[in-house]
Amino acid sequence: MSDIARAIAAYVSSRRPEEFAPAVRHETARALINFFACAIGASRHATVDAALAAVQPFAGPPQAPVFGRRERLDALNAALVNGTSSHVFDFDDTLLSCAVHPTGPVVAAQLALLGQRPQSGADFMLAFVLGVEVEAGIAEAIHAPHYAAGWHITGTVGVLGAAAACGRMLGLGPEKLAHALGIAATQARGLRAAFGSMCKPFHVGHAAQGGLLAALLAERGFTAGAEMLEGRRGFAEILGCGASLAEVPERLGQPFALLRNSYKPYACGVVLHPVIDGCLVLRESRISDPSQIARIALEVHPLVLELTGRKVPQTGLEAKFSVYHAAAVAFVRGAGNEEEFSDAAARDQATLALRARVSPEAVASLGKDEACVRVTVQDGSTSEHHVAHASGSIANPMSDAALVRKLGRLAAPALSSAAIDRLVALCRTLETVPAAAALNDAAAAAA
Amino acid sequence: MSDIARAIAAYVSSRRPEEFAPAVRHETARALINFFACAIGASRHATVDAALAAVQPFAGPPQAPVFGRRERLDALNAALVNGTSSHVFDFDDTLLSCAVHPTGPVVAAQLALLGQRPQSGADFMLAFVLGVEVEAGIAEAIHAPHYAAGWHITGTVGVLGAAAACGRMLGLGPEKLAHALGIAATQARGLRAAFGSMCKPFHVGHAAQGGLLAALLAERGFTAGAEMLEGRRGFAEILGCGASLAEVPERLGQPFALLRNSYKPYACGVVLHPVIDGCLVLRESRISDPSQIARIALEVHPLVLELTGRKVPQTGLEAKFSVYHAAAVAFVRGAGNEEEFSDAAARDQATLALRARVSPEAVASLGKDEACVRVTVQDGSTSEHHVAHASGSIANPMSDAALVRKLGRLAAPALSSAAIDRLVALCRTLETVPAAAALNDAAAAAA
């Protein structure tokens, strides 16, 4: 094994729960609440229905729930389906440093494994923090050339984070854990051409499943090559476009990536959030009738047009990648929830009409969480609003209460309010929960 | 969907069995006999033991056998394990045009699906020929930059071939089949850094499983992006290093890739075969005592040193990538079977001593299936043999009888000779077999 794979594995296999500051534990609770909001919220989406229908005839013992539903699957298939559902709405958490959605691939794998490998809330949390740390550390080392080359980074590094977390749960020593990272590295895949299709969330589920499989294989003595993470023809050389992982080991936990995690108030790409903020403010304060709008001029960070430049989205998934849709639907419906990025919303006539009047302009001096919205109505008068830091950004984070409301709103169709309260309480007190599997019980629909 | 994905899907979904010439059917029989030889032969290897132990606690209904063993798994896990076992010995078939081992990923997926989707031998053969055709067509379009970049091409294109074959077995129309190709494209992965470890054969199993999953998902309405195979940030752009797939559709079946397939007489990388041929000839005719050898000078194609330049292999898997080991063991043991590339053979003292006396030299004017072996013994006399076309090459193919002997030798520890005879007969008459699932029955160990 390479020195870097060994160093990462040694770190992951030797940390102890008491090393984490309260802030890390607090952010873990927030990440889990947000994860369950997304996964349960999307549990009846066509993407999840299709994935579940495809794997059910082949599934093993009912070891883990499909969150928000009554079906149970074996752990490998549960990781696939729950990881997928966590990303369907594009509503999951984001590390702005590297565009990774960190929690989904890691915790979907971990939760699936709990039936076979029960453990305390504290140990579960430890493995989660470490899984995210490996995932984020590698992502931050490679993200710029990697993402530009066309890789969906949550898929490609997610499998490494899931392998680290599951390897820790399985109690692998550093040698086997290093092999697990190598087995995960050679499963890294996911094309950005998938954006706007069901394959985007599939990448997250596949990463969760692949990371779990990597850890299970390593546990049984399966071997990886010594240079698979970095080294000749390895992950960093090929998918990381030659970026170095040399500094990853020393940066682990310095500080923990979860402390720079962010959560989305709107169900679309995070780059669209300042636009939606600005549109909602103007709608509330100035624009009582959106049909009167003649033009919506946006000044945005250049990434907005690169990532979300789709002018005529046909489906809800495509609408999440359309700044035109995001601005228009915010004015028409006064919100940016999943309903605003549904197939029906993408076809809504009032939104379609307004989309054609949206004119975004890339301004290189703007921050990624910054935007300016200028609306001209038919009488020629204009209103303008500048958003310095979008809701959900590091500078303007979602509050704990807002995250709990997000879970409540998204999970309400699937779970009773008592179950949702129980799930929130478990997430918030996880370090003292005797059996982490209580999370699975709370997040499944009543039989 | 892109025009190319649509064109490939239209081709696959509309072909009929009677379109194939007898030579294609004959080559299908040879490919299947060789596949079963490899998969059954490796069925007790540590790689297969570990993979099976890892997935068994999660496996679903016993839908398909693990070839050469008594265990049965659900189809998705069976595809994973049988695809893996087919490549463990590196003894599988090779398309020399693109370095793809075509049969493993495709037929491991197909055989696994037969329990859920029974079909005639003729239909099964049709799907197989088409799966290989898609796999080979795409591989031949991208292989030079793709392989050089560090991708293990059997893993990356294998998933596309498996998706095409399984999609055909499921009766998908062109639209769903195009989505299946897209879902497969975004699962393409596998690093050459894995060579010499258990992850190399794992790539083949993972490709079989991923292609089957892609077809099953597409059947249920799961969608891929329009440009995932070729197009911006798609498979050909990213993994194919920008190679064009434009000519793939028109080349399908012109002529069929199976007609240029080759089979290995020796259990190692095909580039080593002319070296082994030459060493065996000299051993037979001139060198009665290998301990008298002072020097083995080899002239080889440059790829030999690039792919198999490992001087001191520690394991059997590593020995398959060592021209030093291959030449030495051929003189010491007089063969190039799996036993000559086992962990024990890699540590054998006589072979170790002789390895140090092997001096390979790359000669750009030599063909890939050509080599010259010159042996100097301790009295200073030399013997030389030139191999124009290695055994198993297109110009000097393995005979049908040699392939049957290969299956007989490799399968003997697992199956009775009656079962082996039945398996050979089924492969040879597949187009008239009413239920292709008879292959699975014949290739499993008796309960």
Judge whether B394 lies within some domain: no
Tell me whether residues A197 and B228 touch, CB distance under 8 A.
Answer: yes
* A contacts of B49 (beta carbons < 8 Å): 220
H helix and E strand count, chain B:
20, 8
Does A197 reach chain B within 8 Å, measured CB to CB?
A: yes
* A contacts of B183 (beta carbons < 8 Å): 199, 202
| Cα distance between residue A30 and residue A36, in whole Å | 10
Contact B54, A217 (CB under 8 A): yes
Indicate which of A49, A76, A88, A189 best probes the interface with B, i.e. most B CBs within 10 Å of its own CB. Answer: A189
Q: What is the pLDDT of residue A174?
A: 97
Alpha-carbon distances of B211 from A124, B208, B265, rounded to whole Å: 33, 5, 29
Judge whether B154 lies within some domain: yes
Beta strands in B245-363 (DSSP E): 261-262, 293-300, 358-362
> Both B286 and B366 in a single domain?
yes
| Cα distance between residue A228 and residue A225, in whole Å | 6
Q: What is the pLDDT of residue A447?
A: 75
Q: What is the pLDDT of residue A250?
A: 96
What is the nearest CA distance from A151 to chain B, expressed in angstroms? 8
Number of domains, chain A: 2
Coil, strand, or helix at residue A298?
strand
| Cα distance between residue A134 and residue A440, in whole Å | 24
pLDDT band at A71 (very low <50, low <70, confident <90, very high): very high
> Both A40 and A159 in a single domain?
yes
Q: What is the pLDDT of residue A182?
A: 98
Q: Does the ipTM exceed 0.90?
A: yes
Nearest CA in chain A to B230: A193
| Cα distance between residue B336 and residue B409, in whole Å | 13
Residues 125-144 of A with CB under 8 A from B: none
Which candidate from A58, A116, A221 shows the least CB-CB separation from B74? A58
Does B189 reach chain A within 8 Å, measured CB to CB?
A: yes
Does A85 reach chain B within 8 Å, measured CB to CB?
A: no
> Both A330 and A436 in a single domain?
no
Domain end: A355, A387, A419, which one? A387
Tell me whether residues B186 and A199 touch, CB distance under 8 A.
Answer: yes
Does B309 reach chain A within 8 Å, measured CB to CB?
A: no
Q: What is the pLDDT of residue B287?
A: 85
Judge whether B283 lies within some domain: yes
Beta strands in A74-155 (DSSP E): 94-95
Does B412 reach chain A within 8 Å, measured CB to CB?
A: no
Indicate which of A183, A186, A204, A228 best probes the interface with B, i.e. most B CBs within 10 Å of its own CB. Answer: A186
CB pairs under 8 A between A and B: 186
For B291, which DSSP code?
G
| pLDDT, average across residues A207-218 | 98
Q: What is the pLDDT of residue B446?
A: 86
> Both B43 and B122 in a single domain?
yes
Query: Could you read off the pLDDT of A379-431 as tens digits, one per residue?
Result: 999 999 999 999 999 899 999 999 999 999 999 999 999 999 999 999 999 99
Tell me whether residues A191 and B53 touch, CB distance under 8 A.
Answer: no
Count the residues in chain A.
447
Contacts of A295 by beta carbon, 8 Å cutoff, 6+ apart: A357, A359, A375, A376
| pLDDT, average across residues A323-328 | 97
Alpha-carbon distances of B283 from B272, B288, B304, B330, B350, rounded to whole Å: 17, 6, 21, 8, 15
Does B314 reach chain A within 8 Å, measured CB to CB?
A: no
Tell me whether residues B191 and A46 touch, CB distance under 8 A.
Answer: no
Alpha-carbon distances of A2 from A143, A161, A170, A246, B342, rounded to whole Å: 21, 18, 22, 11, 24
Does B217 reach chain A within 8 Å, measured CB to CB?
A: yes
> Both A318 and A259 in a single domain?
no
Which candidate from B77, B191, B202 shows the least CB-CB separation from A234? B191
DSSP string, B161-182: HHHHHHHHHTT--HHHHHHHHH
CATH no. for residue A423? Answer: 1.10.4100.10
Matching residue, tokens 């892609």: B214
Judge whether A394 lies within some domain: no
Which candidate from B60, B193, B198 shows the least CB-CB separation from A223? B198
| Cα distance between residue B262 and residue B283, in whole Å | 25
Helix axes A46-55, A199-219, angle to 10 degrees: 40
* B contacts of A149 (beta carbons < 8 Å): 238
Q: What is the pLDDT of residue A426?
A: 98
**The amino acid at B117:** R
> Both B235 and B194 in a single domain?
yes
Q: CA nearest A359: which of A378, A346, A373, A380?
A: A373
Q: What is the pLDDT of residue B286?
A: 85
* A contacts of B197 (beta carbons < 8 Å): 182, 223-225, 228
Contact A34, A101 (CB under 8 A): no
| Cα distance between residue B329 and residue B314, in whole Å | 14
Tell me whether residues B186 and A203 touch, CB distance under 8 A.
Answer: yes
Residue B405, judged by CB atoms within 10 A of its CB (0-12, 13-18, 19+), counts as middle
Judge whether A130 lies within some domain: yes
Q: Which residues pair with B374 in a beta bridge?
A: B297, B384
* Displacement of CA A206 from its chain's centroid (Å): 13
What is the nearest CA distance from A225 to chain B, expressed in angstroms? 5
Tell me whether residues B193 and A231 touch, CB distance under 8 A.
Answer: yes
Does B62 reach chain A within 8 Å, measured CB to CB?
A: no
Count the residues in chain B.
447
Nearest CA in chain A to B217: A54
Residues 148-187 of A with CB under 8 A from B: 149-151, 182-183, 185-187
Q: Which tokens go with B1?
A: 């969907």
Does A225 reach chain B within 8 Å, measured CB to CB?
A: yes
Query: Could you read off the pLDDT of A263-321 as tens digits, one per residue?
Result: 999 998 889 999 999 999 999 988 888 899 999 999 999 999 999 999 999 999 889 99
> Both B173 and B140 in a single domain?
yes
> Both B169 and B215 in a single domain?
yes
pLDDT band at A165 (very low <50, low <70, confident <90, very high): very high
- Write out the H or E segment, with its range, that includes residue B64: strand B64-65
Tell me whether residues B182 and A197 touch, CB distance under 8 A.
Answer: yes
Judge whether B207 lies within some domain: yes
Domain enclosing residue A40, as ranges: 3-264+400-443
pLDDT < 50: residue spans in chain B: none
Query: Could you read off the pLDDT of B353-405 as tens digits, one per residue?
Result: 999 999 999 999 999 999 999 999 999 999 999 999 999 998 999 999 999 99
> Both B409 and B327 in a single domain?
no
Is residue A203's pLDDT more than 90? Answer: yes
Judge whether B159 lies within some domain: yes
Q: What is the pLDDT of residue A186?
A: 97
CATH no. for residue A363? Answer: 3.30.1330.120
* B contacts of A186 (beta carbons < 8 Å): 189-191, 193-194, 199, 202-203
> Both B341 and B428 in a single domain?
no
Judge whether A395 lies within some domain: no
Does B203 reach chain A within 8 Å, measured CB to CB?
A: yes
> Both B245 and B122 in a single domain?
yes
Q: Judging by DSSP bridges, how do beta strands A358-362 and B293-300 pair with one another? A: unpaired
What is the nearest CA distance from A104 to chain B, expressed in angstroms? 18
> Both B318 and B418 in a single domain?
no
Does B297 reach chain A within 8 Å, measured CB to CB?
A: no
